[in-house]
Amino acid sequence: MKSETLSKNQIISVIILFTFGSSVVSGVNTYAKQDSWIVLILAALFSAPLIILYSRLIKLCPGRDIFEMSTELCGKVFGNIINVVFIWYALHLGAMVIRNFSNFIETTSMQSTPEIVIMIGLLLLTVYLVKCGIEPMGGFAVLILVLIIVIVASTLLFSLDVYDQTHFIPIDHDLLFLSEKATITMAFPFLETILFLSIASAFNKNSSPYKIYLFGLLLSAIFLFIIILRNISILGPHNMSHDFYLSYTAARVLHLGEFL
């Protein structure tokens, strides 16, 4: 890891993809129905101070990752305890994402395939990417991000005729309820980016971690905001509260000219 370095664009791309997670297919279900867009904005604002804290750690300990920071700042015993908790969190989060994707694949297209087989396939792909190294992964992330942007833009374009702006009104929840839901959305996915402290040593020393983290947060929030607006305008608040794969369901409403 020490000899590998990611460019600013690569790190931002990885952060955005990481923040997307399974939201690409499931959408961002804040359970606030037509007010979900407000929840996302609040969650991004609530996340900013902690994102700045992550950036500050990288700035104060250049060239070090979270494992080195914890042992240097907290001592060997407490530092290793922090490292174990950090590793457990990373494994737990990774398992949740793999489970979400495998469940989606099995539900939508491979009903006859045992879910464990799909999970093993996704896990092997993950292991292969990790084995390739952080630099190839960064380049791969840029390409995948461009592909996702094209796909999302296409769904926006081809669904224009089914948008219903009345789905956004009325604002149905008070600020306290929206703030409560925002704290959940803040933790999942925005604050999950704490895991990038594990590859902090790969950050280019000439790049500002503040700009990287905050720009990644801003772009992630914008993309998720667009996805939420699309899902609300197509599905409506009632369907959003009963459908788990919101983005997938919204994409199925595509109308490609005379073809469909």
pLDDT tens, position by position, 115-140: 999 999 999 998 998 888 888 999 99
Model pLDDT, residue 256 = 57
Model pLDDT, residue 114 = 92
Q: Which amino acid is at 86?
A: F
SS3 32: coil
Model pLDDT, residue 33 = 85
Q: Which residues of the chain have pLDDT under 70?
A: 1-3, 27, 29-30, 255-260
In a domain, 39, yes or no: yes
As for how many domains the chain has, the answer is 1
In a domain, 128, yes or no: no
Model pLDDT, residue 259 = 37
Angle between helices 175-187 and 36-60 (to 10 degrees): 40
In a domain, 106, yes or no: no
In a domain, 88, yes or no: no
What distance in Å separates the CA atoms of residue 154 and residue 158, rounded to the nearest whole number? 6
In a domain, 93, yes or no: no
Model pLDDT, residue 30 = 61
Model pLDDT, residue 29 = 61
Model pLDDT, residue 3 = 64
In a domain, 160, yes or no: yes
Model pLDDT, residue 47 = 95
Distances (CA, A) of 227 to 70, 105, 235: 37, 20, 12
Domain that holds residue 185: 8-61+133-251
**All residues at 6 or more sequence positions from 181 whose CB lies less than 8 Å from its CB, including other chains:** 30, 31, 32, 39
